Amino acid sequence: MTLRLVESLIIFLVLAEAAPAVSAEKMRGLVYGEAGRVEAYDPYTAHESAVQRMSDLMFDSLVEVSPAGEYVPRLASSWEIARSGAEVVFTLRPDVTWHPESASGTKERLVVFSAEDVVATVGLLTSSGSDIPNRERFSAIAGAEAQGASKVIVRLSRAMTDPLRALMFKVLPRHKLGSNPVLKRGAPFTKHPIGTGPYVFDKSTPQGEVRLIANTSYFAGVPRIPTILLKGFTDQTIMAQSLMFNSIDMVTYVSPRDLGEILGDRRLTVMPYDALSFSFFAMNAGRGPLRDKRVRQAIAAAINRKEMLQAFFQGRGRLISGPFPPTSWAYNLDVPDVAFDLKRAVDLFRAAGLGDKNGDGILEDASGKPLVLNFAVPLAGESEIIKRIVLAFQTYLLNAGVKVELQFMDWLVWKKKVLAERDYDLTLASWSFDDASNITSLFHSSSAVPWGNNFVNFRDKQVDSLLTEADATNDFEKRRAIYQKLHVVLADETPYVFLWTLMHHAAHNSRVSGVRIEPFGFFKYVSTWGLNAGEVAK
């Protein structure tokens, strides 16, 4: 149930472009493409899904969910639910070891995985000192206690009908975290992680490439692919072309504008998946005229979202009206999409005390100050599409009397400006979910802090109360009713201009065999993937 700021519709990441020549790395291992600068490699401190995908290669959880939707063992060999669902007693596998300090440290004595590692991980997940953007995901966890080396009790803050749902966290090593474990953004562990997963972190380069090596001590069997190299790109089309020219083996996301050409290449396999994602224009509800709900509603009414979806994504998507992916059980189908209505937008601006008093085409407040909003634009990944989208947005708003000043910035600058400093009026982003109801960190007042997921600074007592109530109940139907009410309230409050959801597509060449992916476990089955002999790039 991880919430991620994603690099899809809006691919907010940047790395160096891949060279067209085939590297020696590609002759031996898998090279995959992402649109993103990966700054941290742990599963918790980063927002981006590129980081989450890569951390899946290096870390394991106690249990995981099978394709049939059943819980199956991973680091735990068995478990027992106790105290009516208020605690779970895990028995751990005896054959798990942590990665060596260095990928080449073959003679290094490996540290054995134990219950103390689970206790340390729970400690950092529940510590207010850890930098975890969506810490609400772990709010049900109260603590953990080791019962010897191979057994651990994880206690919950309340009895749950499905307690394992709250315990799908990746386990980190106690010997690297210390006795009072916290995980801070930029800590050494985030730059050189050690896990129990199928691949071992080897090195990263200043250009943003990350190299992993197969874990020869992996308890589930040594992976068939010896090395995996992440390469990043400044533009999605260049990444797609690199795939078609055999410079890389796989991309985790194909832009809709490149999909037709990829589908037309018989050497490539395209794999669609529902990422449970949605895209939005974010409005900083904590400053200036955007504090007024009517101004936010007016901006939403001034945008022709249907026209943008058709123009920029060939209509390959679905407009949304609220804070859930439309395939989610929590989505309220009774809430209508916001229609493009310029007259309504102007009326709402007027109701908020804004009008064109001097006839220059720009709205002013009662003191005569013109309505000028800055738009923080991240230039990365899908830079051309992003430019077109924000230019269209700028035009729509100008037609309604609002001047929008575009501030183009590198992804890293954008993250600091928007996520940390909240120094912006408007921006755009996407969220992707593996628990489509996990929106607490997006809209709860407690998350309206630097680096928190509520970077729009939205605060509403009713929303806080509903989110808290939803998190506290074990009754599925009650939770769904609460979320559908939240959908109504948030559609009205308009902290975002809710845009659309897009079907995602991954693609790989014929060199890679046995590929099977899941939307929230992209590399879940990577140990069984292979590379076909004799089919290296020409």
Identity of the amino acid at 153? I
Q: How far apart are CA 18 and CA 33, in angstroms?
A: 9
Tell how many helices (H) and how many strands (E) occur in the chain.
15, 23
- CATH, domain range 277-501: 3.10.105.10
Alpha helices (runs of H) in 291-382, residue ranges in sequence order: 293-301, 305-313, 342-351
With 70 as the cut, is the pLDDT of residue 382 above it? no
Angle, to 10 degrees, between the axis of helix 256-263 and the axis of helix 236-244? 10
Cβ of 475: how many Cβ atoms within 10 Å? 10
pLDDT digits (tens, 9 = 90+) for 89-112: 999 999 999 999 876 655 678 999
Topology of domain 11-58+197-252+268-273+505-538 in CATH is D-Maltodextrin-Binding Protein; domain 2 (3.40.190)
User: How large is the greatest C-alpha to C-alpha distance in the chain, in angstroms?
Assistant: 78
pLDDT more than 70, % of the chain: 91
Residue 273 main-chain phi, psi, to 5 deg? -155, 150
pLDDT digits (tens, 9 = 90+) for 295-343: 999 999 999 999 999 998 888 789 999 999 888 889 999 999 999 999 9
Q: How far apart are CA 459 and CA 457, in angstroms?
A: 6
Query: 60-185, superfamily in CATH?
Result: Dipeptide-binding Protein; Domain 1 (3.90.76.10)
> Span 423-448, mean pLDDT?
86
Domain spans of the chain? 11-58+197-252+268-273+505-538, 60-185, 277-501
Reported confidence tier of residue 27, pLDDT bands at 50, 70, 90 = low
With 80 as the cut, is the pLDDT of residue 351 above it? yes
Query: Whole-number mean pLDDT of the chain?
Result: 88
CA angle 328, 518, 67 (to 5 degrees): 85
Identity of the amino acid at 187? A
With 90 as the cut, is the pLDDT of residue 288 above it? yes
With 90 as the cut, is the pLDDT of residue 383 above it? no
Q: How far is CA 29 from CA 25, 41, 313, in A?
A: 6, 20, 33
> Span 222-237, mean pLDDT?
90
Find the radius of gyration of the CA atoms of the chain.
24
3-state SS string over 125-167?
HHCCCCCCCCHHHHCCEEEEEECCCCEEEEEECCCCCCHHHHC
Cβ of 525: how many Cβ atoms within 10 Å? 15
Residues 6+ apart with CB under 8 A from 483: 324, 330, 332, 437, 439, 470
